[in-house]
Structure 1
Amino acid sequence: MTAFAFSTVPSILSEPGVTQRLGELIAERFPGTRRPFIVTDAGFVRTGLLELPRLSLEQAGLAPMVFAGVVADPPEAVVLDAVQAARRHEADLVIGFGGGSSMDVAKLVAVLAGSAQAIGEIYGIGKVSGKRLPLVQLPTTAGTGSEVTNIAIVTTGETTKTGVVAPQLYGDLAVLDANLTLGLPPLVTAATGIDAMVHAIEAYTSRHKKNPLSDALAREALALLSRSLIRACEHGDNLEVRQAMLLGACFAGQAFSNAPVAAVHALAYPIGGIFHVPHGLSNSLVLPHVLHFNLPEAAHLYAELAAVVVPHASGSEEARAQALIVAMQQTAKMTGIETTLRQVGIDEGDLDRLADDAMLQTRLLGNNPRELTRADARAIYAAAL
């Protein structure tokens, strides 16, 4: 058996409604905390879902401050604003409330608020030095899995994204509370849910770090997500289904944090960066076409995943792998999200730029089960039109 290493957060709490007693939870798990710093976005604040957790913190004798300046694909300036606000508050614990963007910013605030390191010094892999503030993550979407990953993505140019990857970015506690996802519209539920499914599929087929523990988590994630996604879109107030989605996204996050994602993400990043398409939707748009491209090298693995997603699929390995691709396409169609690049404003004239940008994602492309050239990338985008 191949040697492998597996890392994740030390503690996960999965319980609907638990954030209504967040103050008690923080006081119990992080004794001595006085000045928590909450990182979120204005849209989540408007839902009103932050009020009870914040009140709970105050009732526990804590003095929370809310930073609600996070935006999608957060630029470096937003991260630095949050870091300065945390320093002014003299924060002694950071709480991320939100999707991937808010939780990524929370990670960076926890790392930088008490550090002399500049943000430019931590881009890359393993560049963070020293400790960080205690960190609690509460996802409000069932998608990114950021609550259990050691990665944060920052927009560093007009369209370029840069990653920070370090063990210090793993939080101390991930809290999965389906109540926080009740306000998600169906199309957001769909895109973020498919994003989580992509994490599981790519972790399961990752070329370099695929391992038995990530595989088990990826399969269980796909089982939960494939059973629950359509129901979550159609019955968004169903707490049981919402909790299953959160758990699936969390498992997928643990899987890809250890067996990293590949070409689907590499080709999705330029779509998001250039055309400001949400990350989950960007992944969904290229997913079936990348899976089809990978068939010569990964059909046996896709056939194994088909047994989870479409258990009735039969026939040859190739036929079962194709059944997985069709199932993912049908899932996207049934949810009503866009399924072609033209639907999000991309046309033939944009394909060369997209292909050029995709080839810059060398960290991700190296994990793909099949080597991918620029011509391949352009052909995949053309197929997705």
Structure 2
Amino acid sequence: MHPFSFATTAQLICETGSSRRLAGLCKERGARSVLVVTDPGITRFGLLDEVLPGFEHEGLPVAIYHQVLADPPENIVLAAVERAKSVKADLVIGFGGGSSMDVAKLVALLAHPDCTQSLADIYGVGNARGQRLPLIQVPTTAGTGSEVTQIAIVTTGATTKMGVVSPLLLPDLALLDADLTLGLPPAVTAATGIDAMVHAIEAYTSALKKNPLSD
């Protein structure tokens, strides 16, 4: 066996219906103001409808940024960061597909009160510095695995993308609630299921950075 290193999310909760206690999990982490980063489809399909009442029950202020687009451009990331700052969020939740979770990672980093870096500063591998806000990721599709990776991808132009790669982007908690996958359109369920399968095949058959944990 070749030497390897493996890093992932600190805590995983895999539990049907667990998203309904998301507010309590935020409260346990000392949150006083929470920002949920998501996309218009999540709100349109009502996937937050059973989640948000918990915040009212806990007396925990929550704001929602729901303008994330697929392959999010820089202006979406920066708008989400400003939203986090405006509500003085001290915990960020990525709720949805990979794009929402990628944006949430960057918001948690760039909206930290002590952050002195810009988005342009952190592109590349290991360029992010300092601290980030507490981060919880809640995937609603099967495919991307963004909730357990240290990468965020941003669209920087008409045909260009850049990545931010840093252990700082690994969330504190990934909440895996299978109930959230049930309300999606059939085409999304099929496409993201195939995405998950292809990711698994690629990891298993790859000669690069292959390791027993990924197998």
TM norm. shorter chain > 0.5: yes
Structure 2 equivalent of residue 35 of structure 1 = 33
Structure 2 equivalent of residue 189 of structure 1 = 189
* Secondary structure of residue in 2 paired with 1:152: strand
- The residue correspondences of 1:6-155 to structure 2 (distance < 5 A) are 6-28=6-28, 30=29, 32-114=30-112, 115-155=115-155
RMSD: 1.0
Superposition TM-score, scaled by structure 1 size: 0.54
Structure 2 equivalent of residue 370 of structure 1 = none
Shift, 1:166, TM fit: 0.6
Asked if structure 1 preserves the Cα contact closer than 8 Å seen for 2:20 and 2:54, the reply is yes
Letter in 2 for 1:57: F
The structure showing larger relative contact order (alpha-carbon pairs under 8 Å, at least 6 residues apart) is: 2
Superposition TM-score, scaled by structure 2 size: 0.96
Deviations 1:142-166 (A, max 9, x none): 1101111111110001021111111
Deviations 1:315-363 (A, max 9, x none): xxxxxxxxxxxxxxxxxxxxxxxxxxxxxxxxxxxxxxxxxxxxxxxxx
Letter in 2 for 1:176: L
Asked if structure 2 preserves the Cα contact closer than 8 Å seen for 1:34 and 1:61, the reply is no
Asked if structure 2 preserves the Cα contact closer than 8 Å seen for 1:34 and 1:62, the reply is yes
Provide the rounded CA distance (Å) in 2 between the counterparts of 1:169 and 1:206.
24
Provide the rounded CA distance (Å) in 2 between the counterparts of 1:56 and 1:168.
28
Provide the rounded CA distance (Å) in 1 between the counterparts of 2:25 and 2:118.
32
* Secondary structure of residue in 2 paired with 1:69: coil
Runs of 4+ with >6 A deviation: none
- The residue correspondences of 1:345-360 to structure 2 (distance < 5 A) are none
Structure 2 equivalent of residue 289 of structure 1 = none
Provide the rounded CA distance (Å) in 1 between the counterparts of 2:186 and 2:65.
27
Provide the rounded CA distance (Å) in 2 between the counterparts of 1:21 and 1:214.
30
- Please, which runs of 5 or more residues in structure 1 have no aligned partner? 216-385
Provide the rounded CA distance (Å) in 1 between the counterparts of 2:19 and 2:185.
21
Percent same amino acid at aligned positions?
Answer: 62
Letter in 2 for 1:79: V
Deviations 1:6-41 (A, max 9, x none): 11111000111111122222222x0x2110110001
- The residue correspondences of 1:273-288 to structure 2 (distance < 5 A) are none
- The structure carrying a bigger helix percent of its residues is 1
Asked if structure 1 preserves the Cα contact closer than 8 Å seen for 2:45 and 2:184, the reply is no
Mean Cα displacement is larger for which, 200-209 or 126-135? Answer: 200-209
Asked if structure 1 preserves the Cα contact closer than 8 Å seen for 2:69 and 2:99, the reply is yes
- The structure carrying a bigger strand percent of its residues is 2
- The residue correspondences of 1:236-255 to structure 2 (distance < 5 A) are none
Deviations 1:230-278 (A, max 9, x none): xxxxxxxxxxxxxxxxxxxxxxxxxxxxxxxxxxxxxxxxxxxxxxxxx
Provide the rounded CA distance (Å) in 1 between the counterparts of 2:202 and 2:126.
22
Letter in 2 for 1:93: L
- The residue correspondences of 1:293-304 to structure 2 (distance < 5 A) are none
Asked if structure 1 preserves the Cα contact closer than 8 Å seen for 2:19 and 2:51, the reply is yes
- Please, which runs of 5 or more residues in structure 2 have no aligned partner? none
